[in-house]
Structure 1
């Protein structure tokens, strides 16, 4: 039981009558169950490691190979060409009986043959995965011979049913691009941004860089490539995320919203219990590696390394740099409600709690009227303000005693659950009431989220869900994958009774949540309030708007034979040009997970091709046919850039690493300084969907009555509103979008209120008009007649 953890396991006292021994058996049982779970996890991880090292083979096939070799040998057929006899006479007969020596020699030879075959197969797959010509095949056209041969070889060599990390050793290493190619692509990308004089200056800077320190920096980068699994990711995590001293709230953390068409319950504790138990089911799937790696075209695996730190992870502040701490296991969550913090245990006798059992604990927290201790209510504001201030407070006031133990309970939790005291009325998916909801999930009140944890689950008073994610440990698709699993489990696996409570009957007397205790001195509270002031100023300046595009979506774009992502990026280019009056450096996030330990790369959406099309849209003298032609050229070039970024031929990560090396060597480069200081006035990202269709179909088949009750078939599954992030530039926009169905797109637009150049609602209108104008180009080719609701 949870309250037993506060007791002492073993104690004794000496009195007039002798020794008095006091043993707490509940604590001993809890320790035994905890140890048993830890050993089971270790054993399972060891077996998974063995399986992964042999993939695409299997240990059972290795055993079969040894058995076949032995059977042939003892029946007079020597498949080893006398190698078994040599092993028998020169190695094993010295230590074993003759018959046993022959058996061991056969097993040794069989295992060796099988390992060699696996090594050859793994090497072949790694080389095959290094080929990316398949990505450059145009849709709708006949596939050329080379990609067909490649696809056949991959299907021949790849194994069945890979576990989450089976393919990690098969992934190629991210290549270092050619310096000349990177400089040429960079100059081409900035041509629309500069006039002739400024562009000529950048050409000279690039040429000077190439012929002075560029080659030297490139050689050092090759050395970095040789000694690391990924020459970018560790520096990206360290210098872009962990070295930052400004608040991570808004500036780094991102958010995601609930499923938008189905409201399963309005009872806060019930929804929180189902969501939490679903997350722990997902964690269990991760621990035993039952979650399948994401496979492109069902055969090419993406890197899964980012999943490792999803749970039990926290970012620890430092004076100069933060660090990420990942704990191998955690048996509890930390819960925040009305200024108070609680430790809630998720296991009873080594079994995960059922939602009905967890709901009892959460109900008790909600009913608790105990006021927060002095300084406790705003404590989490330390994680929302400047990092150096938080590091000083942590070092001074949380190193020992009750403060340390309570802080450890929060930091070592699997994740944070926030039982919010606000209500979010988003209704159906077209109500347009998302702005306040998105604000609340992105930053809350500045003190009611623990922004250092890998993620916070937020459940509103009327049971609307949202999540806030710390960015340094992984990128958005990893969290999105987890949340899609959690929402489908919440609706289809666990479900709710007729009153909206969790289903089932508790198996035992309710556990008790442990209220965490803090002793906050006046000087510490002053630091908390200072951090809250910083956070409040920051989030009050955020201008956040969610624009719902429901006039048409990817269905229309596909009919026009255009990539939906490229189409939307062109719409953003047109909208931003109309909003600012000129072209600006544009960031679109692309992934590099085709390579080991890959994270992201930048696609520079503002190009010569896109600028020509935008100018044509603003020129009434240009015909519709010419505009369509220019749009197709711009979309094709954008797709080319996206493929280049995914296959290791990006611009920005290469230049970033060269800049880091120049700083290590104490070398100044005007060119690299110019590149790294250029502001991203428009920062964009698409939120992908990663539904496991087979798993969803299985859940629906197992509980058809639940699926019918919540209208699963009507909405064809979970329809999320996506999520967003804060503005990257003080005078720019951050735009995240998710294509949720054939006729529905959500745009999450952020900017700062203090900038006279930006207005998020105005930019939403610009996007709406750009999308309308683009549809008008194809009049006669589509019958879309919907009207957009903003």
Structure 2
């Protein structure tokens, strides 16, 4: 352990009466430094919490207010209207020589009370302003005078230089939508996929639900919304994730890709340092409307602990080591010395020591991590024995900042077979071999033998944009700030004084050997059943879509629906569908979505033991096409056009249904869209590669609609049909597949 390297420890030196103990100077120094580090952390957190608590004001504003009151008092003016004199009367009488001090204290107390009242007023005003969602409902590119006024007021009340959690106190409560509106939107959403008979039956259930149960369930949700800041988030975390007894592998984790290694651990820890100091800027819609930042708190030092009936998330305030897995062995690698974070070169040295360590894995240790991929109730029971027999090793893994897997196999894009290599890359990140990831950790960094990188992220603690934000920072920092020496090593010099990484030893009782074998068999079965397909669509990207004044996300979503159903649509219907998707998206962004509200109503009905056939029907539905966009959030980190190789290619997740697909996509620059598709090989209805071909066909077909519409418009103006548009696409023959090229890996 790097932290303990400099400590000499207690060295007992007994005198003749055995009553004295000598303490070594290095030990006392280490105790002093340890305490100093702890106090620095506490003071830093206290100061950051204070700054975010008074935002959008600042400590200097209190000083300005106090000075103004003192100046007014000096000019024989009383801005307090007599309140300061009453405060002075309540203060102890220390004698005539302290009369001026009593006046200063009275002014300070009055200034503090007035300052606090002003801050409270600012918080209330900002919360009311942020409750306005009319700007979301306006057409793309159009801004009403009301919205312009709102933007100006938000800019005035938002303050300057916000920290990550500065807006948390000012965010409005999550509104509970009208139950009538939610049911109406739900029926609209299922109408295209139900037969007339099935839709009539569902509509009848909905009417019965509105008549009998809806008002009571809605009342409980309204009550919760006033008591808690969010009426649904804690239930969503508990019942969707933590109460699920399924394997975390594939079902709850997702992966993210990159093509560089080396400085990644150091860059991740730099991100954690910025996170602890709240130096990460909050996410702002339109550069103005802040989003909640609460999920950032659990990126690091977090583990999902299995339970028999439900899991719980354990988050530590700090951790000064990472857990490392290599060839069936576990290690604890310290990340700090008394002087601070280890340099990239020192971390590289520690990882190289692990790679060079010839010691073999102990019996059953190699496959131990397969337990984290087992059904949760099984893993919870086994973990009890493991915690008794191997508590120190288990704590080292679960208490780590994050998990690192040094894979002995290469992965990533190859020029010889780009399509197959990307598919294998995605599969390795999503499932691995079933026993080389600690799926309970908030995220695992996978480093392949050829230096390629990836993340495997447990889903319950946060959504993808949070880990995506961290990954963007990591890749940009590793490439543009840390860099490499001419010999390929990390910059800097090794630290030969560092101790060897600590090998973790597991005392595995015989009774869990069978559990490990069963868990490994189940993990391998699940891993082998996942069909992953990744392909970059390079015919066009975001820039082409924006030329037609359409939302790029809605464009792709409609193309995905076309790919899944292969229903030909005309241009007008496509635009109508895009507009509808945008309306639903904006409704969800403003808290007026359908699924979370129906989910919360269902949970209330279960607590009340109130049967609702309509909610049972909604809850039992299986959605066969689960889609998600991975946003690119930090475009300021580097120029994506000048450095296309440094652009993240996104990541993916497993299908939500045994006969469905999981589709993720990311706009990599302006001219490429990278898709990640997963399905289960056991299904006779799905094929990831077939859907990938359909997605490509659908995107090109939809793009052709706009080109045809442009051609017809030109014909109406009397232009020659032979004229070429600058938006024209390469020739595409249905059924053919353009060579897959990817310069962004």
TM-score (norm 1): 0.87
1:125 corresponds to which residue? 126
1:369 is the counterpart of 2:358: yes
Alignment partners' CA distance in 1, 2:95 and 2:452:
69
User: Which moved further from structure 2: 416-425 or 27-36?
Assistant: 27-36
1:645 is the counterpart of 2:588: yes
Aligned residue runs from structure 1 range 225-304, under 5 A: 225-259=225-259, 271-272=261-262, 274-304=263-293
Q: 1:318 to 1:94 in 2, by over 3 A?
A: same
Alignment partners' CA distance in 2, 1:742 and 1:323:
41
Contact in 1 for aligned 2:8/2:26 (Cα 8 Å): no
SS in structure 2 of the partner of residue 548 of structure 1: strand
Deviations 1:419-477 (A, max 9, x none): 11010141479933310001001111000000000000011101000000011111110
User: Which moved further from structure 2: 365-374 or 111-120?
Assistant: 111-120
Unmatched runs of 5 consecutive residues or more in structure 1: 264-270, 579-613, 618-626, 698-711
Deviations 1:304-357 (A, max 9, x none): 000001100001111111110001111100111111100001111141110111
Q: 1:377 to 1:32 in 2, by over 3 A?
A: farther
User: Which moved further from structure 2: 483-492 or 420-429?
Assistant: 420-429
1:749 is the counterpart of 2:699: no
SS in structure 2 of the partner of residue 207 of structure 1: helix
Aligned residue runs from structure 1 range 491-640, under 5 A: 491-506=479-494, 509-578=497-566, 614=567, 616-617=568-569, 627-640=570-583
Contact in 2 for aligned 1:545/1:749 (Cα 8 Å): yes
1:784 corresponds to which residue? 729
User: Structure 1 residue 718: deviation in Å?
Assistant: 3.1
Alignment partners' CA distance in 1, 2:178 and 2:612:
19
Contact in 2 for aligned 1:4/1:27 (Cα 8 Å): no
Contact in 1 for aligned 2:663/2:675 (Cα 8 Å): yes
1:723 is the counterpart of 2:651: yes
Q: 1:527 to 1:23 in 2, by over 3 A?
A: farther
User: Structure 1 residue 21: deviation in Å?
Assistant: 5.6
SS in structure 1 of the partner of residue 408 of structure 2: coil
User: Structure 1 residue 300: deviation in Å?
Assistant: 1.1
Deviations 1:146-173 (A, max 9, x none): 1011111111111000011010011011
User: Structure 1 residue 485: deviation in Å?
Assistant: 0.5
2:154 corresponds to which residue? 154
Out of 336, 354, 358, the position equivalent to 2:325 is 336
Alignment partners' CA distance in 1, 2:597 and 2:412:
45
Alignment partners' CA distance in 2, 1:409 and 1:305:
26
User: Which moved further from structure 2: 419-428 or 28-37?
Assistant: 28-37
1:308 corresponds to which residue? 297
2:398 corresponds to which residue? 411
1:108 corresponds to which residue? 109
User: Which moved further from structure 2: 404-413 or 103-112?
Assistant: 103-112
Deviations 1:681-734 (A, max 9, x none): 1000000011151x548xxxxxxxxxxxxxx76325831110000010000111
Figure out how many residues of one structure are paired with residues of the other and give that number.
Answer: 716
Alignment partners' CA distance in 2, 1:312 and 1:258:
23
SS in structure 2 of the partner of residue 785 of structure 1: coil
1:208 is the counterpart of 2:197: no
1:98 corresponds to which residue? 99
Contact in 2 for aligned 1:33/1:350 (Cα 8 Å): no
Q: 1:168 to 1:526 in 2, by over 3 A?
A: same
Contact in 2 for aligned 1:418/1:456 (Cα 8 Å): yes
Alignment partners' CA distance in 2, 1:198 and 1:326:
46
1:431 is the counterpart of 2:376: no
1:422 is the counterpart of 2:401: no
User: Structure 1 residue 364: deviation in Å?
Assistant: 0.8
User: Structure 1 residue 496: deviation in Å?
Assistant: 0.5
1:595 corresponds to which residue? none
User: Structure 1 residue 9: deviation in Å?
Assistant: 3.4
SS in structure 1 of the partner of residue 668 of structure 2: strand
Q: 1:68 to 1:743 in 2, by over 3 A?
A: same
Alignment partners' CA distance in 2, 1:651 and 1:63:
48
Alignment partners' CA distance in 2, 1:237 and 1:572:
28
Deviations 1:399-426 (A, max 9, x none): 25xx100110000000011111010141
Contact in 2 for aligned 1:411/1:453 (Cα 8 Å): yes
Alignment partners' CA distance in 1, 2:653 and 2:563:
19
User: Structure 1 residue 193: deviation in Å?
Assistant: 1.5
1:770 is the counterpart of 2:698: yes
1:379 is the counterpart of 2:368: yes
Contact in 2 for aligned 1:458/1:465 (Cα 8 Å): yes
SS in structure 1 of the partner of residue 330 of structure 2: strand
Contact in 2 for aligned 1:556/1:784 (Cα 8 Å): no
User: Which moved further from structure 2: 483-492 or 518-527?
Assistant: 518-527
Contact in 2 for aligned 1:175/1:648 (Cα 8 Å): yes
Contact in 1 for aligned 2:641/2:669 (Cα 8 Å): no
Q: 1:666 to 1:26 in 2, by over 3 A?
A: farther
Alignment partners' CA distance in 2, 1:660 and 1:346:
43
Q: 1:322 to 1:30 in 2, by over 3 A?
A: farther
Alignment partners' CA distance in 2, 1:23 and 1:382:
44
1:452 corresponds to which residue? 440
1:66 corresponds to which residue? 66
Alignment partners' CA distance in 2, 1:499 and 1:664:
63
Contact in 1 for aligned 2:2/2:498 (Cα 8 Å): no
1:598 corresponds to which residue? none
User: Structure 1 residue 13: deviation in Å?
Assistant: 8.3
TM-score (norm 2): 0.92
Alignment partners' CA distance in 1, 2:416 and 2:469:
21
2:668 corresponds to which residue? 740
Q: 1:398 to 1:337 in 2, by over 3 A?
A: same
1:666 corresponds to which residue? 609
User: Structure 1 residue 90: deviation in Å?
Assistant: 4.3
The root-mean-square deviation of aligned C-alpha atoms, in Å, is: 2.2
Alignment partners' CA distance in 2, 1:92 and 1:299:
48
Contact in 1 for aligned 2:403/2:444 (Cα 8 Å): yes
